[in-house]
Amino acid sequence: MSETLTQFGTSFQAKIIASLLTDIKFIQTISDILNPSMFDSDSNKWLVQTIKDYYYEYKKQPTLEVIKYKIDEVEDDILKAGVVDKLRDVWKNIEATDLEFVQSETLDFCKNQTLKSAILESVNLLENKNYEGIKTIIDEAMKAGTTKDLGHNYIESLELRLTESARDTVRTPWDVVNEIMDGGLGTGELGVIVAPAGIGKSWTLQALGAGALRNNKFVVHYTLELNENYVGLRYDSIFSGVTTSNIKYHKDDVENKLKKITGNLLIKYFPTKAASVQTLGAHLKQIELSGMKPDIVLVDYADILMPTGNFKEKRHAIGNIYEDLRGLAGELEVPIWTASQANRSALEEEVIGADKVAEDYSKIMTADFVMSMSRKVEDKIANTGRFHVIKNRFGIDGITYPATINTNIGQIQVFEGSSQFGKEAQSKMDNKEEFLRKELANKYKDMENKSEGFE
């Protein structure tokens, strides 16, 4: 039996390294039995050793930025060039669908090599009749390749819990929402906005992005429906208060507004059903390779991502997408916001509950925070609406907040019901028929005045 991984081929070895970089459980399990000498090129050996050294020191995988820095320190130009080439091969396999198989085979190979070495070492002990020594060696070999992270030791870790923040959060633009979320959405968490078609899901996601930008965050916005330029124009509207169709007439004003934004925004378009969660993950890793790490990710929207796997029913495929999306948030240690479609019947609802979520209820079970958005026809005219907290892992839920929602310029504000602005918004909604009558009367008068101007 070969003692190296040469028998598996170069692509297999690249996938092993890809797994070391992307799967924390894999590196935890195999780090003590995976020897760089098992690989068949100096470049692969260097990459594996670098990853292991970093993991031993920091208890996590190195980012691509760290690896890039380490490569720059390599003095041997031939080795440096070889490492760069191998890293490209590794990156091509980040999205490979057989990584679980590769990890399983690699783990079995390394366990067998460890056991083989223990047996050979036992020969001398056998000659000396040191049976206890043989048992110790074999027992240790049998333990090889088991997970090292046993979990959080509750009794002994009080000081750790008090000195380290339990959640690293990114705030929303709305104080009342931040309060019940204990600061906002945290790293590794998934937030979902639920609404029927045409209500303003995309605008709400962009309001979340704009709020993060104002707080000096790096935002990555994935759009699966609208093109990148149009999404950019919508952000222009949010920051400037100018409708998208009029941005071109107010270019200087918009530029001045954008100069005050301290954060950074990257907008990436993928066609509907052409990108999977794995596609987004690979793109986010490319962003890290360029030296930037997102603070928050927006996906508009998860229901139209491409599922990975064969599912007989659509609801199971969508449920799997949400599970993968939350897994991605945990893997990259970043909060992810997305939106979900509500049933058509939700259009007639004052408040949209969990029973109106389309396709698969597992969306609700998977997400950490779920908030619905409802706007009837009268609300669209009055620029009002309601946000209802369906699920909240971090505090109370079941609360409905009045809101002002102007989708012409993307201005969305959520209020405490007892506040002055909350009462004003609620009053408009409570008296929607009277408000609608007045609005129609005003529009009729405007039309009459304009027609008189042409006489």
CATH number at residue 258: 3.40.50.300
- Please choose, from the candidates 58, 3, 76, the residue with its C-alpha nearest in 3D space to the C-alpha of residue 35: 3
| Residue 381 contacts residue 400 (beta carbons within 8 Å) | no
Same-domain status, 178 and 321: yes
Whether the bond between 361 and the residue before it is cis, its omega within 30 degrees of 0, is no
Burial 324-343 (b: 16+ CB within 10 A, else e): bbbebbebbebbbbbbbbbe
Q: How many domains does the chain have?
A: 2
Asked whether residue 269 is assigned to any structural domain, the reply reads yes
Same-domain status, 388 and 436: yes
The rounded Cα 300 to chain-centroid distance in angstroms is 12
Asked whether residue 163 is assigned to any structural domain, the reply reads no
CA-CA distance, 387 to 371, in Å (whole number)? 6
Asked whether residue 12 is assigned to any structural domain, the reply reads yes
pTM: 0.65
Asked whether residue 187 is assigned to any structural domain, the reply reads yes
CA-CA distance, 416 to 337, in Å (whole number)? 22
| Residue 317 contacts residue 325 (beta carbons within 8 Å) | no
Same-domain status, 138 and 249: no
By CB atoms closer than 10 A (0-12, 13-18, 19+), residue 204 is buried
- Please choose, from the candidates 11, 22, 28, the residue with its C-alpha nearest in 3D space to the C-alpha of residue 278: 22
Same-domain status, 120 and 238: no
Asked whether residue 174 is assigned to any structural domain, the reply reads yes
CA-CA distance, 283 to 392, in Å (whole number)? 29
- In tens digits, the chain (455 residues) has pLDDT values of 457 888 888 899 999 999 999 888 888 888 888 889 999 899 999 999 999 999 888 888 898 889 988 999 998 999 999 999 999 889 888 888 888 899 989 888 888 888 887 777 777 777 777 767 667 766 665 666 555 555 666 676 666 666 555 678 999 999 999 999 999 999 999 999 999 888 999 999 999 999 999 999 999 999 999 999 999 999 999 999 999 999 999 999 899 989 999 899 999 999 988 899 989 998 998 888 788 889 999 999 899 998 887 777 777 788 889 999 999 999 889 999 999 988 777 777 888 888 877 666 778 889 999 999 998 888 888 889 999 999 999 999 999 999 999 999 999 999 998 888 878 888 777 765 565 566 556 655 666 655 554 44
CA-CA distance, 409 to 3, in Å (whole number)? 64
Determine the structural domain holding residue 70 and report its residue range.
5-143
Q: Which residues pair with 269 in a beta bridge?
A: 223
| Residue 403 contacts residue 413 (beta carbons within 8 Å) | yes
380 vs 59, 315, 404, CA distance in Å? 51, 30, 10
Same-domain status, 133 and 182: no
Asked whether residue 234 is assigned to any structural domain, the reply reads yes
Alpha carbons within 13 A on the beta-carbon side of 448:
6
Same-domain status, 262 and 136: no
